[in-house]
Amino acid sequence: MFSSLCFRFSIDPQSDPEALFRISSETGLITTAMELDREREHWHNITVIATQRDNPSQVSRVLVAIETLDLNDNAPELDRQYTTALCDSSNAGQ
């Protein structure tokens, strides 16, 4: 097992030209830099670089595939008009 304190993490800028992601150089935690849109791009592939702190010539790269999940940002619509009625004596949930 290794300690993340022994490594410095970064994202290869060529793999993330729009700078959509950030990475903690200390922990390697990847976060988004802006809101992602699944309708625009379903998958993002970035390359994470881990460099050994006490020996910078020791470098490892790994491809990270990030799936963008869909958020229902469009209100649901009914396929036709419905007429509804509600009694004023109805209980909540009826």
pLDDT tens per residue across span 38-81: 888 999 999 999 999 999 899 999 999 999 987 766 777 888 88
- Tell me the C-alpha distance between 44 and 46, whole Å: 6
pLDDT of 89 = 84
Distance from chain centroid for Cα 65 = 10
Closest CA to 42 of 18, 4, 69: 69
List the strands of the sheet with 7-11, edge to edge.
Answer: 7-11, 43-52, 59-67
pLDDT at 75: 74
- Residues 13-27 have a mean pLDDT of 96
Nearest to 49 by CA among 60, 65, 36: 60
